[in-house]
Structure 1
Amino acid sequence: MTASPASPDALLAATRASYDAIAPAYTETYPDILGDRPLERALLAAFAELVTGNGPEPVADVGSGPGHVTARLHALGVPVFGVDLSPRMVALARAAHPELRFHVGSMTALDLPDATLGGLLALYSVIHVPDERLPAVFAEFRRVLVPGGYVLLAFQVGDGERLRMTERFGQEITLDYYWRRPEAVAAALTEAGLPPQTRMVREPLDEEKRPRAFLLARKPG
């Protein structure tokens, strides 16, 4: 374990540069992270039904990466767009899914007006947010959601560990990972005004080393 970059700007710059470096290899290795995960696909379908039932507002896929989950939501009839910190990831997503909208942005300061989203999806993207910055990120999620809007999170489970990875796919990177308990994330969501409605944990599959947690939260209507 090691300390994360000292400032928010340094953290964002390191994360952006790391994903820019690994974007092509990551996209080739993980062309569809939900392709062989029926449980996750079922959760995504439930999320799609909930947000479209609440209203016509769009959904943001935050940390959209190569865009395959954004495309799945689109296929489920959800008006959706992708947001990613990495310009190179965004370029790959646009090339693979030219019918969809992707733009560069950060979950720490979404370039969106208040109360404009019907839902927000963050699959394995809050894992790079330090504990002390997580409340501000969840407050930002609440800000952009309409009343009754939903958040679906997925993350690897841990006991508060922090890991810095300095190499991946043969590239030098600086990525910090934070493994958390579902109850800790649920408490942070509740504190931000996004009380969880559903909590699920599944055991590791195949090459996975950690359980995966899923939290569905909703902004009060």
Structure 2
Amino acid sequence: MVDSADIRVTRDAYDEVAELYTDMFRRQLQDNPFDAVMLDAFAHTVREHGAGPVADIGCGPGRITTHLAAAGLEVSGIDLSPEMIRIAREQYPDLSFKVGPMERLRFEDESLAGIVAWYSIIHTPPTRIPDVLTEFARVLRPGGHALFGFQAADEPTGVHDYDHKVAPAYRWAPVTFAEALAAHGFRATATLAREARPDERTPQATVLAVKV
């Protein structure tokens, strides 16, 4: 399978801004308790259901990966951008990071206890989200959990283009994303929707789901 044009654009764009991105978001979790709460709830849920390997997909420089590791999870990171992975390996040498696309994960069927896609689905065109969710369902074991973070649409339903500063992106209404999950082997179990913080341009949403 040849990488699509949007994958190449996203990879190249994040390669160019990898150092700046790392500096800008270094304290993002410390400054945003809502995100930390949902990540910690995900970690608790995975541990409660038997633990096991977890993949941070679209891990960037590894800030979410190391947070999940500190929460007691057996976690590794995957990202399109070689530069992001280089930084992650330098900063967190005790964790595993690999370059790769989310549509072709190098995991065996039903081998993962959890997946985190933290603002990493936002650059995937909506027409390809079914392929992504199908791949996530393939590698998650039954009862495994997935956590998604994304910029939320202003409208109660739908998907809309978003003028992202790095690469073309899309904003999902949480209810619409939950419907997409339901159509591809998942059930949404918790949603956090919040207004934009002063340093954000849009509302934000997080959805926790279980593979059924």
TM class by shorter chain equals over 0.9
Residue type matched to 1:83 in 2?
A: I
Deviations 1:40-87 (A, max 9, x none): 111111111111121232110011001011001101110000010000
Which of 183, 195, 207 is equivalent to 1:203? 195
CA–CA distance in 1 between the matches of 2:6 and 2:86?
22
Letter in 2 for 1:107: M
Code of the residue aligned with 1:132 in structure 2: it is: T
Letter in 2 for 1:176: P
Aligned partner of residue 201 in structure 2, secondary structure:
coil
Counterpart of 2:161?
A: 162
After TM superposition, the structure 1 = structure 2 runs for residues 54-203 of structure 1, keeping only pairs within 5 Å, are 54-158=49-153, 159=155, 160-163=159-162, 175-203=167-195
- Structure 1: gaps spanning 5 or more residues: 1-6
Q: How far did residue 33 of structure 1 move?
A: 2.2
Contact 1:62 1:82 in 2 (8 A): yes
* TM-score (structure 1 length as normaliser): 0.90
1:103-149 Cα offsets, whole Å, 9 max, x none, are 00111111111101100001111100101001110111111001110
Counterpart in the other structure of 1:4: none
User: Aligned with 1:137: secondary structure?
Assistant: helix
Whole-angstrom distance in 2 between the partners of 1:196 and 1:8: 29
Q: Secondary structure at the match of 1:201?
A: strand
Tell me if the contact between 2:85 and 2:97 (Cα under 8 Å) persists in the aligned partners: yes
For 2:171, the aligned partner's letter is: W
Whole-angstrom CA distance in 1 between matches of 2:123 and 2:147: 16
Contact 1:117–1:149, Cα closer than 8 Å, also in 2: yes
1:33 equivalent in alignment to 2:28:
yes
Shift of 1:212: 0.6
Deviations 1:144-168 (A, max 9, x none): 0011100000100125321455xx5
Gaps of 5+ in 2: none
Distance (whole Å) between structure 2 residues aligned to residue 85 and residue 27 of structure 1: 15
Tell me the distance in 2 between the aligned counterparts of 1:155 and 1:8: 23
Percent identity between matched residues is 40
Cα deviation 1:187-220 (Å, max 9, x = unaligned): 1000001110111201111221111111010012
* One-letter amino acid matched to 2:6: L
TM-score when scaled to structure 2?
A: 0.93
Tell me if structure 1 keeps the 8 A contact 2:52–2:73: no
* Total equivalences in the alignment: 207
How well do the aligned residues superpose, as a CA RMSD in angstroms? 1.4
Letter in 1 for 2:99: V
